[in-house]
Structure 1
Amino acid sequence: MIPPRHWVLHLGQEKTGSTALQQQLVACRDALLATGVLLPRSLGRANQRKLPFLALREECRETRVMACLYPELAAQASLAEAQRVCEQVVAAELAADQQSQAVLVSSEHLSSRLVDRAAVARLAAVLQRLGARSVQLVIYLREQIGLALARHSMEVLSGRTEAFSPAPTPELDARRLLAPWEAVFGSGALRVRTYGAGHLIDGDVIADFASTAGFPVLATAATPVPARVNRSLDADGLALVRLINTAMPLFVNGGVNATRQQAIALIGQRFCDGPPLRPPPGMASAFLEAYQESNAWVDRHHGTHLVEALAAAAQRGSSH
């Protein structure tokens, strides 16, 4: 039987320090457990993307990627069966630990894959079946110019061939992103933070999360300082990957294209230190106009600094 527990979910947007935080969580797994906090192994080693997978409704690119990453999921006849098997394994791990009082999960895919109220409601149902008696959500928001550039970078790495589009889109709207989570879990469950050195405790996402989520051991545990991880490609690197995407598909014979992966890994070693992709002329003013109202709303209701952060990003962009 799974004991009822408090769950803390870390929802990261693109390039908000999620990889570094997840490395620290893994390094502190035993220290967390000693304080009564379980970091489930069955949901994934670092990015615990199996949790959002459990809330997907239909086959999509994410389900194909998950099947490539986890053979036990690929072996199932349907998405529903793969989810059932996955949930059984998670439930077994949770039931085997009768001592921990809290469960901690980190995945940027929670915010990028579960984007409407129905998907978040399915997640809430999964959490209830897994013994969640209460849920706290910690989400780091980026100002929209930086987020658009980061999202383009991630899409290129996932196969995009089109050039960067500087147009505002609803997907970048912070209030829109938060809405389904507030509707399902309540605004009181959200701890919303502004990503950026000037807005994080000690200028560091690990220290900030440790304080915000209430896990001080993350900031005090003696763990090695990780090397820079998940570095962004510079503008030339992104251009090269886009060219590769035109010739090498993401999937081959039902699996991830290993040749493409190797090529991108080589580019990642050589093209991270050059000039980054810059916002084109006109983007700053368009984004300021598009997101001013919603950013101000999020700032008022969640104590964030998105208006300030977007204005600063616009100023930086116009100076280049």
Structure 2
Amino acid sequence: MKKPIHVYFHVGYEKTGTTSIQTFLRNHEERLAGLGYLYPRSLGKISQYQVVRTCKTEKVLSNIAPDGEGASPERDFEAHREFIRDRLTREIRRSRCSNVIVSSEHVSIHFNRPEEFERFKQLFAAFNAKFTVVIYLREQVELLESRSYTAMVAGATQLPQFDKPAGSQRYLNFLRTLERLAEAFGRDNLIVRLFSRKSLVEGDVVKDFLSALNITGLKVEGTAVKNTSLGIAGLAILAKVNTQLENLDPRKRKPIRRRLLEVLHQSDDSPGYRIGTEAAAAIRDAFRPSNREVARIYFGRDEDLFEPKPASNQNMPPSSSGKTEDILIATILTFIDSELARGKQGRRNTSSALRQRRLKGDGLKQDSRVK
């Protein structure tokens, strides 16, 4: 007789606290196991990227693996699927847990076909598995603003222009996503939550997630929703530096950009980036009908899914033409040149050295944080 297990499938939309949830689950895996919940390592150390790499129809997904976690594509895709399934089965059996938590931020974008969800279910074919899906929805304009920031951190040289019809971006249609999930797992097996301070348990996505799974007895600290993005001045600087880094060896870009972000986060107290008023209104109008349907079906409300947002007159970040930004850019570009010349030992010491030799005339607060 197959062992009964309950699989909680966290379909983590981007920019909805998924990394906080995953990090908490991994850091507390022993405590969770004691409560009967397994967060399997066979699907990924933190982000369980193997869910998509194993179940997606096309084998074009080597780029979603974290550094050092097998990012090269598999030569035999079917053999890889079998390998992951067997490894997961052994891990579940060894754990003796009756609950399995799976979390992937890539599913909402990459899973588009019924057979991909079916492959996910087949990962647990050795068990009598019941599935519950947990998903967080974030207001579409906020989601796009946050994704735009992420693109800049990853190396983009300018923020995207929202000149295409918003309705053409399918992953932003929450009703469509939920319909696909309901078809695969059943509507009654979906737990749908809103990602906002007001909606989350104590404004904390980890506490909310544990509440959704009825997990108690774990202490949660420091995961309340907060804005850690750069302001418009910091983004303008980052865009210029990203341009300078484009021709650099990719292996050197990431550590340089990481240390640059440390500097900018300590220095940048400019207003946060917001999509312009007209573009934001067009995006909200495009998804208002489908959002209202989500509110009706999953929340029992005949009203807008998200609370109205105040209008913003801000568009793209200004070009970095002010004296303050120019001074900081010159400092950072000098820092990049020195990074390339110093070698490995220099790279280890530069982060602290740069903070100590910050220009006195830069006019930015060293300890300010983006609120």
Structure 2 Cα separation of the partners of residues 78 and 244 of structure 1 = 40
The aligned runs of 1:53-202 (5 Å cut-off) are: 53-60=53-60, 62-66=61-65, 69-71=68-70, 74=72, 76-97=74-95, 99-126=96-123, 128-129=124-125, 131=127, 133-161=129-157, 163-166=159-162, 167=164, 168=166, 169-202=169-202
Q: Which residue of 2 aligns with 1:312?
A: 308
Instruction: Write out per-residue CA displacement over residues 154-176 of structure 1, whole angstroms, 9 at most, x where no aligned residue.
Output: 33444545532334133211112
Structure 2 SS opposite 1:32: helix
The aligned runs of 1:148-297 (5 Å cut-off) are: 148-161=144-157, 163-166=159-162, 167=164, 168=166, 169-217=169-217, 221-222=218-219, 225=222, 231-243=228-240, 257-272=250-265, 273=268, 274-297=270-293
Q: Could you say if the C-alpha distance between residues 222 and 202 of structure 1 is closer, same or farther in structure 2, counting changes exceeding 3 Å? A: closer
* Preserved contact between residue 6 and residue 130 of structure 2 (Cα < 8 Å): yes
* Preserved contact between residue 13 and residue 111 of structure 1 (Cα < 8 Å): yes
TM-score normalised according to structure 2 size: 0.72
Structure 1 Cα separation of the partners of residues 232 and 302 of structure 2 = 26
TM-score normalised according to structure 1 size: 0.82
Structure 2 Cα separation of the partners of residues 119 and 162 of structure 1 = 34
Amino acid at match of 1:101: S
Q: Could you say if the C-alpha distance between residues 271 and 12 of structure 1 is closer, same or farther in structure 2, counting changes exceeding 3 Å? A: farther
Amino acid at match of 1:113: H
* Preserved contact between residue 2 and residue 91 of structure 1 (Cα < 8 Å): no
Range with bigger deviation, 197-206 or 302-311? 302-311
* Preserved contact between residue 39 and residue 104 of structure 1 (Cα < 8 Å): yes
Q: Could you say if the C-alpha distance between residues 202 and 209 of structure 1 is closer, same or farther in structure 2, counting changes exceeding 3 Å? A: same
Identity of aligned residues (%): 25
Amino acid at match of 1:296: R
Q: Which residue of 2 aligns with 1:46?
A: 46
* Preserved contact between residue 158 and residue 250 of structure 1 (Cα < 8 Å): no
Q: Could you say if the C-alpha distance between residues 109 and 96 of structure 1 is closer, same or farther in structure 2, counting changes exceeding 3 Å? A: same
Mind listing any 5+ residue stretches in structure 2 that lack a counterpart?
Answer: 316-371
Structure 2 SS opposite 1:129: coil
Amino acid at match of 2:253: R
* Preserved contact between residue 124 and residue 184 of structure 1 (Cα < 8 Å): no
Structure with higher RCO (Cα < 8 A, 6+ apart) = 1
Structure 1 Cα separation of the partners of residues 193 and 110 of structure 2 = 20
* Preserved contact between residue 275 and residue 314 of structure 2 (Cα < 8 Å): no
Structure 1 SS opposite 2:308: helix
Structure 1 Cα separation of the partners of residues 251 and 231 of structure 2 = 23
Instruction: Write out per-residue CA displacement over residues 161-196 of structure 1, whole angstroms, 9 at most, x where no aligned residue.
Output: 553233413321111222211111111111000110
Q: Could you say if the C-alpha distance between residues 179 and 250 of structure 1 is closer, same or farther in structure 2, counting changes exceeding 3 Å? A: farther
Question: How far did residue 241 of structure 1 move?
Answer: 4.8
Q: Which residue of 1 aligns with 2:354?
A: none
Question: How far did residue 233 of structure 1 move?
Answer: 3.7
Structure 2 Cα separation of the partners of residues 190 and 227 of structure 1 = 24
Q: Could you say if the C-alpha distance between residues 67 and 263 of structure 1 is closer, same or farther in structure 2, counting changes exceeding 3 Å? A: closer
Aligned CA RMSD, in angstroms, stands at 3.2
* Preserved contact between residue 38 and residue 101 of structure 2 (Cα < 8 Å): yes
Instruction: Write out per-residue CA displacement over residues 69-111 of structure 1, whole angstroms, 9 at most, x where no aligned residue.
Output: 334x7384233333333333222212223x2111012221222
